[in-house]
């Protein structure tokens, strides 16, 4: 399938209701599946990654139903000793699911599809033996064959490649026999670990933290069913916040300022670009009339790179974003993809060591671009197109379904800004 969207230049106005965080949702769905009894989930969404997690926990024995606007998850009564499950294209999903399967006695095949087939999974293979379980990858990638159960242990684990593996261990080790202590070295994306800890606490799991990055996990704990409200997604919001910063009178509804999501860092990044964040009742908007080139470090929030690239393209001068090495194993090689696709629109991007240099002129050309099956690339290009000199044709537009199925609808229902309003 190759959906093509043509996005015309022009300012839009309106209020956008931000969808559920697929990151928060996947953690909550899995925790609910591990909790005896029925958990009630509100604020849930319909992204592909969420659907994949719900399918996986159903295959493991959870019962999922919908009552009005509530998602009801009845926890697994008897974990199977053999199962084949898929995480779809979710990197977080496969890392959480593989660790949970490893915590249980049995043989499990865990796989994925699309870009996930190219993501490295050697961490699982090398680290599970530290806890008494084994994993056989397929040349370092999916599918994974996992033999459990794990037991508690004290271990040093590498957090430099992805925090998602660490989150998987934090969710799995409370279930096993014996206590554990994780000494995480070179931890990246710590806010995502904090999100995992928040979810665990909500479902009654105790993990003690020893600064800076050691986690003490008592074993043989029981997840407790609860009522859980999914956060609105700061990652999805990033495109609309940037849209506001580059001139659109758009307000966002649903975001929590006390969220643990890493991408909330965009608020400080906007300030670094001399933009003013405006809070009014239950909405957030941005005044970017005095925006300028900026320099920020997105190592802990690499999913912000696409939105930040659009912001930088809309500024005059060279913006520098550090942390570009985190972009290699995403839905696409995001650094090279951003360089290629923005280049087609006349925006020069250089990748120098761990930095991305975006040479903004405030002018973005029309043209034909491709998402590379990467949802975040499609969305950032769509926002860039709204201030381009001509129409931008985006191929692979269906990729937004991974995290934000209603993105195109939300863009299309915004009202064109009249010339009179533009001039005021």
Please tell me the distance from the alpha carbon of residue 410 to that of residue 249, in angstroms, as a whole number: 14
Q: Which strand (E) or helix (H) includes residue 125?
A: helix 122-127
Pair 404, 374: CB distance under 8 Å: no
Out of 24, 263, 303, 410, pick the active-site residue.
Answer: 303
Q: Quick one: which of 410, 401, 330 has its CA closest to 50?
A: 401
Please tell me the distance from the alpha carbon of residue 155 to that of residue 141, in angstroms, as a whole number: 23
Name the region of 186 (left: φ>0; alpha: ψ -120 to 50; beta: rest).
left
Edge-to-edge strands, sheet with 295-297: 295-297, 316-322, 355-361, 348-352
Give the SS3 label for residue 156. strand
Please tell me the distance from the alpha carbon of residue 182 to that of residue 171, in angstroms, as a whole number: 12
DSSP assignment of 236-250: HHHHHHHHHHTT--E
Please tell me the distance from the alpha carbon of residue 330 to that of residue 312, in angstroms, as a whole number: 21
Please tell me the distance from the alpha carbon of residue 351 to that of residue 335, in angstroms, as a whole number: 7
* Helix then strand then coil, % of the chain, to nearest 5: 35, 30, 35
158 is catalytic: no
Half-sphere exposure of 368 (CA within 13 A, CB side): 2
Measured over the CA atoms of residue 63, residue 52, residue 137 and residue 299, the dihedral's sign is: negative
Helices (H), strands (E): how many in the chain? 13, 24
Please tell me the distance from the alpha carbon of residue 123 to that of residue 175, in angstroms, as a whole number: 20
* CA-to-CA dists, residue 33 to 40, 61, 97, 237, 275, angstroms: 11, 8, 11, 28, 42
Query: 396-411 burial, b if ≥16 CB within 10 A, otherwise e?
Result: bbbbbbbbbbbbbebb
| Residues labelled as active-site residues | 303
């Amino acid at each position: 399938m190759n959906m093509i969207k043509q996005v015309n230049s022009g300012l839009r106005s309106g209020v956008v209701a931000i969808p559920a965080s697929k990151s928060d949702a996947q953690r909550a769905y899995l925790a609910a599946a591990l909790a005896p009894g029925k958990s009630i989930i509100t604020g849930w969404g319909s992204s592909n990654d969420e659907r994949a997690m719900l399918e996986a926990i159903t295959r493991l024995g959870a019962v999922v139903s919908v009552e009005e606007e509530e998602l009801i998850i009845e926890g697994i009564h008897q974990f199977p000793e053999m199962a084949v499950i898929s995480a779809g294209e979710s990197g977080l999903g496969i890392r959480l699911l593989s660790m949970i399967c490893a915590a249980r006695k049995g043989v499990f095949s865990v796989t994925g599809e699309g870009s996930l087939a190219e993501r490295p999974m050697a961490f699982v293979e090398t680290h599970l033996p530290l806890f008494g379980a084994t994993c056989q990858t397929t040349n370092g990638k999916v599918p994974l064959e996992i033999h459990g159960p794990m037991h508690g242990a004290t271990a040093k684990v590498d957090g430099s490649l992805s925090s998602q593996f660490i989150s998987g261990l934090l969710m799995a080790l409370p279930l096993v026999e014996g206590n554990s202590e994780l000494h995480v070295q070179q931890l990246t994306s710590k806010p995502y670990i904090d999100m995992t800890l928040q979810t665990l606490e909500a479902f009654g799991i105790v993990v003690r933290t020893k600064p800076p990055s050691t986690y003490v996990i008592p074993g043989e704990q029981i997840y407790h069913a609860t009522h859980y409200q999914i956060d609105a997604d700061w990652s999805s919001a990033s495109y609309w916040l940037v849209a506001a910063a580059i001139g659109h009178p758009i307000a966002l509804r649903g975001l929590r300022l006390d969220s643990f999501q890493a991408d909330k860092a965009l608020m400080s990044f906007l300030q670094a670009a001399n933009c003013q964040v405006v809070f009014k009742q239950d909405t957030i908007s941005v005044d970017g009339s005095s925006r300028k080139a900026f320099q920020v470090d997105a190592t802990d929030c690499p999913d912000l790179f696409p939105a930040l690239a659009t912001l930088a393209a809309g500024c005059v001068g060279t913006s520098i974003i550090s942390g570009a090495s985190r972009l290699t194993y995403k839905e696409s090689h995001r650094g090279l993809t951003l360089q290629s696709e923005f280049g087609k629109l006349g925006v020069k991007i250089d990748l120098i060591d761990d930095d991305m240099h975006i040479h903004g002129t405030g002018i973005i050309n029309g043209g034909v671009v491709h998402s590379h099956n990467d949802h975040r690339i499609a969305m950032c290009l769509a926002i860039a197109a709204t201030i381009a000199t001509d129409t931008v044709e985006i191929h692979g537009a269906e990729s937004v379904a991974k995290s934000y199925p209603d993105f195109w609808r939300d863009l299309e229902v915004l009202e064109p800004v009249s010339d009179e309003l533009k001039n005021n």
